[in-house]
Amino acid sequence: MPPLFTASLAERLDRDSAIAVCEGADGTVLKAGTMYIAPGGQHMVVNRAADGKLRLALHQEPPVHSCRPSVDVLFRSLLAPVQGSVVTVVLTGMGADGADGAKALREKGGWSIIQDEATSVVWGMPGAVHAANADDEILPLEAIANRLHELLTRRPV
């Protein structure tokens, strides 16, 4: 994704969403209720800082699955700092980026949602997650936000 696209995407989603949406920046402390979009041309990862807080870091290491930013890079960065307390969502897109990371997080206790083929423009990325047996739910695009809200606001028993 090119830089200008990710910036305008973040702005549009921020206007249209019930939660805050912004482009990720190096050193940003993660806040509950905020969605971070990786800046175009940069991988985005999550680290646990010395102060115990989860922070974003950006880098320009080589593309993964011909992608930079890569979903797999982001998902794999979550393995150590948050382990199984992750819900992944993979939406329409070309290629297989996201499948390896979603599988690794799911094996650690995470939950994986993918967009269904009928509502996807291209079912490459969600299809790759499905082919890797790394999905827990396949949902139409219009149902994903409500399901995320349900999953992320339920109280432990």
User: Do 33 and 20 form a contact (C-beta atoms < 8 A)?
Assistant: yes
**Considering the entire predicted model, what is its pTM?**
0.92
Give the tokens for residue 45: 């990862």
Angle CA(54)–CA(29)–CA(64) in degrees, nearest 5?
A: 65
Q: Which CATH architecture has domain 68-157?
A: 3-Layer(aba) Sandwich (3.40)
DSSP β-bridge partners for residue 47 = 55
* Contact status, residue 148 vs residue 111, Cβ threshold 8 Å: no
Tens of each residue's pLDDT in the chain, 157 residues? 888 899 999 999 899 888 889 999 999 999 988 999 999 999 999 999 999 999 999 999 999 999 999 999 999 999 999 866 899 999 999 999 999 999 999 999 999 999 999 999 999 999 999 999 999 999 999 999 889 888 888 755 4
